[in-house]
Structures are given as C-alpha cells and as structure tokens.
A and B are shown apart, each in its own frame.
Chain A
C-alpha cells in the first residue's frame, strides 16, 4: 500500500527526469527554457517532501519566478527561436549521452550499495523561524557576504550590458 507521500515522490521523480530530458534534448531552445520551469517546480516538490517548506517557496520564487524568466528572456533576445534550422546539440551529442548514462549508473550503484547511517526523520516542523535565527546568528558572516555579492552582481550586470553602447 502506497501512502500519499510515496505517490507524490514518484510523481515528482517522473516529472523531473522526464521533463529534464526535454530540457536536454529539445531542438527548440525556448521549449527547453519553459520545460526547465517544470523541472525547478518538481525540485520544489521534493523540498516539500523533505520538510523544507521555506526552501520550497524560495525555490519557486527565486528560481521559477526569477532565474527562469531571465533565461526565457535571454533565449528570446539572443537567438532566432522561430526557425531552429540546425540541431542545437553538438556533434559529440551521442557520446555525451553514453557518458551521462554510464555516470548515472555508476552513481546509482554507489548510492544504493552504501550503508547510510540514517535516522528515522521526526515530525515535520515549520522551518522559517529557525532558518531566520540561524541566518542572523551563526551564519551572519556568509549572509552579509552573499548580500554584498548580490550587489556586485547587480552592478556588474548593468556595466556589462551598457558597455557595448
């Protein structure tokens, strides 16, 4: 008898892997960009299954809402999407797929043969309050460094795009 979480786990697995293959092998780059949205959404579903509620919302807001929209705009601004004449895969495509499948089989064998010392996970608790406390106490230095990095990223993006004018 499968419980509801297992059902969702297999649903998200099929969603992430299946649509991830569309991202990898679609000839239309815009289709890849839109498929990436569903992959990121599926990863947010995994975060919910793992009891990371705040992280799941951050994933949807920052990745699916921000990064993916940026990627879609970048695709539309930089390539001729209406007529994908040539395949966007390079000539090493088949070799890469073979290497990728081999890597995945190796990783899966290693993961499933290892004896991980897991605990039985406890009750799922809201994490937002504890994450906020951690970010402003133990991890305040990385937090400030990341905020400075984001500022640097904003300025560098503006400078890079304006330079060509």
Chain B
C-alpha cells in the first residue's frame, strides 16, 4: 500500500463515479456520482500529501481536501433544493424526461 495503491483505489472510485454520472437517469443518483468523483479527488490530494509532502508545509493537500468536503456539502444542498423544486413542478426528477425549460 504505497502511493500507487491509493492512487489506483482513487482511480477506481473516479471511474465508478463517472459511470454513475453518465448512465443514471435519476437526478439524485447523478448527485451521488458527483459525490464519488469529489471523494476520489480528495483521496488523491491526501495520498500525495502523505507520500510526497511539500517542504514548506506538510498539510497543504489535507487543507485542499477539507475545502473539497465543504464545497461538496454546499453543492449537495443546492442541488437537492433544485431537485425538490423540480419535483414540485414536474412530479419527477428523471434527467432524460426534463426537457422543458419553462414550467
């Protein structure tokens, strides 16, 4: 379990997120895929911070991962609010059926 092990796991997580993001119909399932993509990116940052730390400060990668977690929380809140209001308007959240911009 060196750097390459963590990077490979992160690549697998990224691939899973991408597959969900492309193949799912439900908007909330797509949001789950986005969360997996963000997690893969954060895992890469932390792995590099552990195995190839910068000389100035060892924790730069972890700081970046903290910001990724916060941004993901904000993104999930707004996207779910959009999904709820779309559901109120159209009574479904299937991304392939939502083709009209003006309700």
A residues sitting closer than 8 Å to B (CB atoms) are 5-6, 9, 13, 16-17, 20-21, 23-24, 29, 32-33, 36, 39-40, 43, 46-47, 49-52, 54-55, 58-59, 62-63, 66-67, 70-71, 73-75, 77-79, 88-90, 92-93, 96-97, 99-101, 103-104, 107-108, 111-112, 114, 116-119, 121, 127, 130-131, 134-135, 138-139, 142, 146, 149-150, 152-154, 156-158, 160-161, 163-164
Contact = CB atoms under 8 A, between A and B. Distances in A.
Given A58-B66, A63-B72, A134 B4 contact: no
Contacts of A103: 15, 18
Nearest to B25: A90
A58 B80 CA distance: 21
Contacts of B8: 107-108, 111-112
B9 A17 contact: yes
Q: Chain A interface mostly helix, strand, loop or mixed? A: helix
A50 B47 contact: yes
